């Protein structure tokens, strides 16, 4: 990651400063800073398409080309976004040569993406109004700048999308052109994309049509919210509802993460209610579950219950929305589990090990209560404040703003209810119908508790995205868009 | 190849970095393709994102994301071989096996590909079968070779 690289730089180079000139202006900069950043600091504008300071530079669009003359007199064109400042450098950002090179680049970009507004505007600035080169695809909208790939990998840490193939077939896609198992639907790819490409929306969950109905800001769309008595807490309630659905034929299968041991889980398809009642839900780990849902659909399942975290529920919803065009009788009823963040099993085990000196195998039970993380091991109870475990939070969770599973049919969690009860948010009629098959007694839910946690999560996400958004908006206004 | 065999290969690379290409090449050699199962296992054992494995596997022609046949027949369609009738040789191969270039026969016996120059133009038209080169190949000769390979156990 970029940040790490900078830290390393600082240590070895002790913030050595160099002097260079940009368009005749003398400027001091820390050695190694990209020329582009140095230029911006003194108000010299250089056009870019594939650069943001919060991801590593990649130099793919070539638009930021500038002319440099080194101390030894060597003159050439380089990309300023990834060329490090060095002593005695003379940089020209608007020389004749630079303008010519940029024109050439824009000719190529326009031939690739003739309809993309941003490219068209840039081309026009350089006097190009129509593509003069051969256009192979009028609707192409990706310039293969890789910003989405870098943001997904370096910022979010999930790497759901990447480049694939090569040469003229090179493209951005989720693996196998299938719905991604790793995408958490944060939408950062769509945010950073300079062209607004639809490629990244195809197999990710960056954009989803919203649910319809009455809406609360922090609770989301809901037609009912209440607290249900369930002696066996969350696990028990979810199981009772789904088992009743399976028995009554309202559902033909359920896709869920099944617990293997304290931290490991596997995604499974279960078809009958007895098997289902015998397994235990894993509700705090984010495992690959989308491909299992797709397997169920491929097997001919049409009335599927899907139990997952809010991000996975987004996936299920997008898949339902997309596939219903081809498979009109497909119905996915999503049960979303409230989630503040999930923990990365590996990191969590390490953390627990260092905190309590207990081995993974000795752990009998884990639970979260009142901001505390509690584990039972060797018949002893250990607990720790949740903040202490921040380092073990799963990649990307801090960018996610969905606590109460906004896209679920039924959202369920312990927040907002007394022990022995769970809070249920009914968002759709589909969810309501499923509930009708189950027996339970209901009570009033403490909505405020849910709102508070939802708000906390939203704010955390905002904090993390604010600096990114700031730079993106600055970039857009710079281009006069 | 079973999962445990795949795991055995992957295990050799555990704890090392920058080994993805080597690992994929070895799996390709042993499995004849990079199966989704193998990709999944690499992800689980080495923690490399699936999208990263897919990127590399789809980039190199030496790696195949689809099962390849026991015999990989590569007919040269480079300039020299083209002029000397390489395409007619290709035609013969396509007809004899019953697949198009780029495809694999359903019995997983043959995969047919074209390549642009194998570096021995003087011998054109050239055909390479599992690393073995055949020079001045005629359509008839290739047909015979394929039939021989097909009847063998
Ligand atoms: S989809 Fe957008 S961000 Fe990603 S490579 Fe293409 S143009 Fe760049
Ligand atoms: S911004 Fe420098 S190459 Fe794209
Ligand atoms: S063109 Fe066929 S070997 Fe060179």
A35-45: burial string, b at 16+ Cβ within 10 Å, e else: bbbbbbeeebe
Over pLDDT 70: what percentage of chain A? 96
- Residue to substitute from B40, B48, B51, B52, interface A, most A β-carbons within 10 A: B51
Q: Check if A166 contacts B (Cβ < 8 Å).
A: yes
A-chain residues near B52 (CB < 8 A):
159, 162
CB contact under 8 A, B51 and A160: yes
Mean pLDDT of chain A: 91
What's the A142 CA to ligand 1 centre distance in angstroms?
Answer: 5
pLDDT tens digits for range A435-459: 999 988 999 999 999 999 999 999 9
SS3 sequence of chain A: CHHHHHHHHHHHHCCCEEEEEECCEEEEEECCCEHHHHHHHCCCCCCCCCCCCCCCCCCCCCCCEEEEECCCCCEEEEECCCCECCCCCEEECCCHHHHHHHHHHHHHHHHHCCCCHHHHHHHHHCCCCCCCCCCCCCCCCCCCCCHHHHHHHHHHCCCCCEEECCHHHCEEECHHHCCCCCCCCCCHHHHHCCCCCCHHHHCCCCCCCCCCCCEECCCEECCEEEEEECCCHHHHHHHHHHHHHHHHCCCCEEEEEEECCCCCEEEEEECCHHHHHCCCECCCCCCCCHHHHHHHHHCCCCEEEEEECHHHHHHHHHHHHHHCCCCCCCEEEEEEECCCCCECHHHHHHHHHHHHCCCHHHEEEEEEECCEEEEEECCEEEEEEHHHHHHHECCCHHHCCCCCCCCCCEEEECCCCCCCEEEEEECCHHHHHHHHCCCCCEECCCHHHHHHHHHHHHHHHHHHHHHHHHHHHHHHHHCCC
CB contact under 8 A, A166 and B59: yes
State the complex-level ipTM. 0.90
pLDDT above 50 for A2: no
pLDDT of residue A5: 37
Query: Where do we find the tokens 């002097």?
Result: A19
Ligand 3 pocket test: pick from B117, B133, B135 the residue with the most ligand atoms within 8 Å of its Cβ.
Answer: B117
pLDDT tens digits for range B49-74: 999 999 999 999 889 999 999 999 99
DSSP letters, A40-86, are: HHTT-----SS--TTS-----S-TTEEEEE-TT--EEEEETTSPBP-
* Pair of tokens at residue A330: 């497909």
Q: Which ligand is nearest to the CA of A82?
A: 2
Confidence band, pLDDT 50/70/90 cuts, at residue A325: very high
* Phi, psi values for residue A406, rounded to 5°: -55, -25
Q: Are strands B110-115 and B71-76 parallel, antiparallel or unpaired?
A: parallel
Q: Contact B27/B9 with Cβ under 8 angstroms? A: yes
Q: Using CA atoms, how far apart are residues A225 and B127, in angstroms rounded to an integer?
A: 70
Q: Check if B102 contacts A (Cβ < 8 Å).
A: no
Q: Using CA atoms, how far apart are residues A317 and B110, in angstroms rounded to an integer?
A: 42
Q: Check if A202 contacts B (Cβ < 8 Å).
A: no
pLDDT above 50 for B81: yes
Query: Where do we find the tokens 């001091």?
Result: A28
* Pair of tokens at residue A171: 């493209």
Confidence band, pLDDT 50/70/90 cuts, at residue A6: very low
The sign of the dihedral angle between the CA atoms of A352, A354, A356, A360 is positive
Nearest to A182 among B49, B55, B58 (CB): B49
Read off the pLDDT of each residue in A180-185 and give the average, rounded to a whole number: 96
pLDDT tens digits for range A280-298: 888 778 999 999 999 999 9
CA distances from B60 to A150, B30, B63, B146 (A): 21, 17, 6, 27
Choice between A356 and A470, residue whose per-residue pLDDT is larger: A470
Q: Contact A113/A63 with Cβ under 8 angstroms? A: no
CB contact under 8 A, B55 and A181: no
What's the A215 CA to ligand 2 centre distance in angstroms?
Answer: 42
CA distances from A316 to A148, A258, A404, A442 (A): 22, 17, 15, 28
Cβ–ligand 1 contact at A285 (below 6 Å): no
What is the nearest CA distance from A160 to chain B, expressed in angstroms? Answer: 6
pLDDT of residue A479: 57
Cβ–ligand 1 contact at A195 (below 6 Å): yes
What is residue A435's three-state secondary structure? helix
pLDDT tens digits for range A385-407: 888 888 999 999 999 999 999 99
pLDDT tens digits for range A355-370: 888 887 777 777 777 7
Q: Using CA atoms, how far apart are residues B92 and A421, in angstroms rounded to an integer?
A: 73
Least confident of A21-30, A89-98, B60-69: B60-69
CB contact under 8 A, B49 and A163: no
What is the nearest CA distance from A210 to chain B, expressed in angstroms? Answer: 28
Is domain B71-151 classified as CATH 3.40.640.10? no
* Pair of tokens at residue B57: 């596997």
B-chain residues near A174 (CB < 8 A):
51
Q: Contact A109/A99 with Cβ under 8 angstroms? A: no
Prediction pTM value: 0.89
In order of their start, the domains of chain A are: 3-100 (3.10.20.740), 147-207 (3.30.70.20), 215-342+394-464 (3.40.640)
Query: Where do we find the tokens 């491909």?
Result: A291
A-chain residues near B54 (CB < 8 A):
162, 164, 175-176
First to last CA, chain A: 29
Q: Contact B112/B54 with Cβ under 8 angstroms? A: no
What's the A178 CA to ligand 2 centre distance in angstroms?
Answer: 30
pLDDT of residue B1: 63
pLDDT of residue A7: 37
Least confident of A109-118, A137-146, A267-276, B43-52: A267-276
Domain boundaries, chain B: 3-59, 71-151
* Phi, psi values for residue A412, rounded to 5°: -135, 140
The sign of the dihedral angle between the CA atoms of A60, A62, A63, A69 is positive
Nearest to B51 among A161, A165, A166 (CB): A161
Q: Which ligand is nearest to the CA of A35?
A: 2
Nearest to B55 among A158, A163, A182 (CB): A163
Q: Which ligand is nearest to the CA of B82?
A: 3
pLDDT of residue A281: 85
CA A150 to chain centre: 12
CA B122 to chain centre: 24
pLDDT above 90 for A56: yes
pLDDT above 90 for A267: yes
What is residue A268's three-state secondary structure? strand
B-chain residues near A164 (CB < 8 A):
54-55, 58-59
pLDDT above 90 for A61: yes
């Amino acid at each position: 990651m970029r940040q790490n690289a900078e830290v390393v730089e600082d240590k070895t180079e002790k913030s050595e400063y160099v002097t260079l000139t940009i368009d005749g202006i003398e400027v001091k900069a820390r050695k190694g800073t990209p020329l582009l950043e140095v230029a911006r600091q003194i108000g010299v504008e250089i056009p870019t398409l594939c650069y943001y300071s919060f991801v590593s530079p990649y130099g793919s669009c070539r638009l930021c080309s500038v002319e440099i003359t080194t101390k030894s007199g060597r003159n050439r064109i380089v990309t300023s976004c990834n060329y490090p400042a060095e002593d005695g450098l003379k940089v020209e950002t608007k020389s004749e040569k630079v303008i010519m090179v940029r024109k050439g680049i824009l000719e190529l970009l326009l031939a690739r993406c003739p309809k993309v507004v941003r490219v068209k505007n840039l081309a026009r600035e350089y006097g190009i109004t129509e593509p003069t080169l051969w256009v192979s695809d009028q609707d192409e909208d990706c310039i293969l700048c890789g910003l989405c790939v870098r943001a997904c990998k370096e910022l979010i840490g999930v790497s759901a999308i990447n480049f694939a193939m090569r040469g003229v077939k090179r493209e951005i896609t989720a693996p196998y052109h299938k719905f991604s198992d790793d995408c958490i639907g944060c939408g950062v790819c769509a945010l950073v994309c300079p062209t607004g490409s639809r490629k990244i929306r195809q197999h990710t969950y960056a954009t989803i049509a919203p649910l319809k109905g009455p809406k609360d800001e922090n609770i989301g769309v809901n037609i009912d919210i209440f607290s249900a008595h369930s002696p066996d807490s969350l696990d028990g309630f979810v199981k009772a509802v789904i088992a009743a659905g399976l028995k009554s034929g309202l559902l033909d299968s359920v896709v869920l993460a099944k617990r293997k041991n304290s931290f490991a889980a596997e995604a499974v398809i279960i078809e009958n209610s007895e098997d289902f009642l015998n397994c235990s839900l894993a509700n705090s780990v984010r495992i690959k579950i989308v491909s299992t849902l797709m397997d169920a659909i491929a097997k001919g399942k049409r009335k599927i219950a899907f139990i997952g975290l809010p991000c996975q529920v987004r996936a299920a919803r997008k898949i339902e929305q997309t596939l219903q065009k081809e498979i009109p009788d497909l119905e996915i009823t999503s049960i979303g589990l409230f989630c503040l963040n999930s923990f990365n099993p590996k990191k969590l085990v390490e953390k627990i090990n260092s905190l309590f000196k207990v081995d993974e195998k000795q752990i009998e039970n884990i639970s979260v209560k009142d901001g505390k993380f509690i584990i039972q091991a060797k018949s002893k109870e250990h607990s720790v404040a949740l903040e202490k475990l921040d380092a073990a939070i799963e990649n990307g969770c801090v960018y996610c703003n969905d606590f109460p599973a906004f896209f679920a049919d039924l959202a369920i969690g312990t927040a907002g209810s007394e022990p022995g009860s769970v809070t249920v948010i009914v968002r759709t009629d589909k969810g309501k119908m499923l509930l009708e098959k189950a027996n339970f007694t209901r009570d009033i839910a403490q909505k405020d508790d849910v709102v508070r946690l939802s708000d906390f999560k939203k704010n955390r996400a905002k904090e993390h995205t604010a600096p990114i958004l700031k730079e993106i908006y600055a970039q857009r206004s710079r281009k006069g868009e | 190849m079973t999962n445990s065999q795949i795991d055995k290969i992957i295990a050799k690379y555990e704890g090392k970095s920058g080994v993805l290409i080597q690992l994929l090449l070895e799996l390709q050699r042993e499995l004849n393709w990079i199966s989704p199962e193998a990709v999944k296992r690499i992800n689980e054992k080495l923690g490399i994102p699936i999208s990263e494995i897919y990127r590399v596997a789809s980039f190199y022609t030496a790696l195949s994301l689809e099962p390849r046949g026991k015999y990989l027949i590569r007919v040269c369609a480079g300039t020299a071989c083209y002029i000397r009738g390489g395409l007619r040789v290709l035609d013969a191969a396509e007809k004899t096996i019953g697949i198009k270039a780029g495809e694999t026969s359903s019995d997983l016996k043959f995969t047919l590909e074209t390549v642009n120059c194998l570096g021995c133009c003087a011998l054109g038209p050239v055909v390479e079968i599992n690393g073995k080169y055949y020079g001045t190949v005629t359509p008839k000769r290739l047909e015979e070779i394929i039939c021989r390979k097909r009847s063998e156990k």
